[in-house]
Amino acid sequence: MQPTVLQILPSLDYGGVERGTVEIANELVRRKHKSIVMSANGRLVPELTASGTEHIDLPVGEKSIISIRLIPKIYQFLEERQVDIVHVRSRMPAWLTHFALKKIHQKKRPILVSTVHGPYSVNPYSKIMMSGSRIIAISEYIKKYILNNYPDINENKIEVIPRGVNNKEYHFDYKPENVWIKNWYEEFPHLQNKFLITLPARLTRWKGQNDFIEIITKLNAMGINVHGLIVGGIDKRKKRYFHELKSLIKKNNIEDHITFTNHRDDIKDILSISNIVLSLAKIPEAFGRTALEALSLGVPVVAYDHGGAKEVLEDLFPEGKTEPLNTKKAVSLIKKFYESMPEVKNKNIYTLDNMLDKTISIYNSFYL
């Protein structure tokens, strides 16, 4: 039997959850499964539908009492389309799905799978993500979070499936095309021949941009001529934080040593021309995707030693681990790398193929 799989998430804009959803959907289609995604619209919808997945545009991520009106629509959709598996990837969609499933007779009810993408606040609202017949944790860190905070959950229900990168796209031999390099240096001429230290992260306090600025400041004060690149979207709600960062840069007198790129679709190319990539999340992240992408290109990474990034570096590049929130130690490690760059070994175990195989094996396991 080839099951019909419905994935539900808030929207399909760029992000790790959204990218993983599209990757699974594309693989389902390739394997002749019926693939459906329900979410609000977003920039990834054209890519999703072009590969053969059906998209249902519903605002299932809105945290509002009026979202209750969506429950009958979801119930009707599940019934009419005879969905076999519902894979929920966020809390609000999970609650709407929970109430929709309750309306379906137990013998006809689709199987529920959930992915815990982060260490949510611990409360009854978050516990809905632990209600699936199978629970996917995207790292060992997230599995420990589940077991520590919800001890009544059966550990056997939890499957650790780390995110992965496509080895055909992220590999040591990758080089940007000449036209990209030409366009890049036309846009950022001041970056030519610079030692680039890159922080790829959307602008938000916990991603560590202020620590990054302190690190670049200290390195330049030591006579180490580096340039800091902050790559990430600047949401209008984060304008105040952005201006705080700009003020800090001015105060530290390093305007000529920091560049903001805003959101970029060419992150792989930017990572590949970087000398070092940093991961400075102030609270542990569920998975170190940025670190993994850089290391998969052969670019050294310095990362705070906690959360999912810790796991990736332990497996692929332990030399790059540094004490969380300690910018002094991060500076010392970067200085060491600047003077003698360590080799990144070509041994990535976090592949997209592994993630796809393990996830779809969970779907298929209900029908073996």
What are the φ and ψ backbone dihedral angles of 244, each rounded to 5 degrees? -60, -45
CATH number at residue 24: 3.40.50.2000
The pLDDT of residue 14 is above 80: no
pLDDT grade for 368, boundaries at 50, 70 and 90: low
Would 253 be classed as within a structural domain? yes
pTM of the model: 0.90
Tell me the C-alpha to C-alpha distance, in Å, between residue 80 and each of 83, 99, 341, 364.
8, 17, 59, 22
Residues 187 and 249 in one domain: yes
Kindly report, residue by residue over 84-99, the tens digit of the pLDDT: 999 999 999 999 999 9
pLDDT grade for 38, boundaries at 50, 70 and 90: very high
The pLDDT of residue 124 is above 70: yes
Burial class (CB in 10 A: 0-12, 13-18, 19+), 40: middle
Q: Which residues contact 102 (CB under 8 A, 6 or more apart)?
A: none
If one counts the domains in the chain, the total is 2
Kindly report, residue by residue over 301-310, the tens digit of the pLDDT: 999 999 999 9
The pLDDT of residue 282 is above 70: yes
Residues 212 and 129 in one domain: no
Residues 86 and 212 in one domain: no
Would 345 be classed as within a structural domain? no
The rounded distance, in Å, linking the Cα atoms of 95 and 344 is 43
Q: What is the pLDDT averaged over residues 43-67?
A: 94
Answer yes or no: are the C-beta atoms of 320 and 301 closer than 8 Å. Answer: yes
3-state secondary structure string across 65-133: HHHHHHHHHHHHHHHHHCCCEEEECCHHHHHHHHHHHHCCCHHHCCEEEEEECCCCCCCHHHHHHHCCC
Would 173 be classed as within a structural domain? no
Q: Which two tokens stand for residue 55?
A: 């998209």
The rounded distance, in Å, linking the Cα atoms of 116 and 98 is 16
The sign of the CA dihedral 121, 123, 127, 128 is negative
The rounded distance, in Å, linking the Cα atoms of 191 and 229 is 9
Average model confidence (pLDDT) across the chain:
95
- Domain containing 133 equals 4-164+352-365
3-state secondary structure string across 136-187: EECCHHHHHHHHHHCCCCCHHHEEECCCCECCCCCCCCCCCCHHHHHHHHHH
Residues 10 and 148 in one domain: yes
Residues 24 and 160 in one domain: yes
Q: What is the pLDDT averaged over residues 282-293?
A: 93
